[in-house]
């Protein structure tokens, strides 16, 4: 409600993602367009606000990733690494957004290409990481190739392939390095490997 009021008072056109049919009205009585698919709106927005925590931000990015629209995060959750606009800073932050006083940072995504049927009907891309994890108590064996060149065989609970954005997430929890957000590298981090000499490795962001 506060976001709606802040934008409406500035004369900014807003569109709201919602699955219900309940209409949302500006304080002045103007109706607000709602949508369930961003590609179906009357006109694409200049900016998308993700309201929630970092999990909401990750979900938002996957909805707009092919549209090249900047995403800003309003943190109403617990984790605010990505959603870093606090409720206390809301008015000042909206002023800055409306005045163009912000910097857009491009971030890398990961994509699972094969098997193509792994995620039917949903995105196969990730902003944070892609994880291969054991399904039962036994460790698994994972053979890793980078650009068709053999790297290593991991005997572990799993393997994390992380972007720089995800370096402070699951990767950090298993002892992987932290990368600057704009870094285009990927991190390969084993989860509880059987061989103690196995350590995370950083590879080029162009790698397959």
Give the residue numbers annotated as catalytic, written as ranges: 54
* String of DSSP letters for 77-118: SS--SS--B-GGGHHHHHHHHHTT---------EE--SSTTS
Determine how β-strand 140-146 pairs with β-strand 149-156.
Answer: antiparallel
Determine how β-strand 24-25 pairs with β-strand 158-162.
Answer: unpaired
Tell me 17's DSSP state.
E
Report the residue count for the chain: 208
Token pair for residue 138? 């036994």
d(CA 171, CA 188): 9
């Amino acid at each position: 409600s506060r976001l709606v009021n802040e934008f409406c008072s500035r004369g900014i056109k807003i569109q709201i993602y919602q699955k219900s049919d309940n209409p949302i009205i500006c304080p002045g009585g103007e109706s607000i367009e709602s949508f369930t698919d961003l590609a179906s709106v009357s006109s694409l927005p200049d900016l998308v606000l993700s309201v929630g925590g970092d999990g909401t931000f990750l979900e938002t990015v996957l909805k707009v990733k092919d549209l090249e629209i900047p995403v800003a995060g309003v943190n109403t959750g617990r984790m605010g690494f990505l959603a870093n606009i606090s409720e206390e800073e809301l008015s000042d932050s909206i002023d800055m957004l409306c005045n163009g006083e912000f910097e857009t940072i491009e971030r890398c995504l990961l994509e699972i290409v094969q098997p193509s049927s792994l995620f039917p009907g949903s995105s196969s891309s990730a902003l944070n990481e892609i994880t291969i994890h054991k399904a039962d108590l036994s460790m698994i064996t994972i053979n890793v190739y980078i650009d068709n060149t053999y790297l290593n065989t991991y005997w572990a609970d799993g393997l994390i392939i992380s972007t720089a954005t995800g370096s402070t997430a699951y990767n950090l929890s298993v002892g992987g390095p932290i990368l600057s957000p704009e870094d285009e590298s990927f991190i390969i981090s084993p989860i509880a490997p059987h061989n103690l000499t196995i350590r995370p490795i950083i590879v080029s962001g162009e790698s397959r």
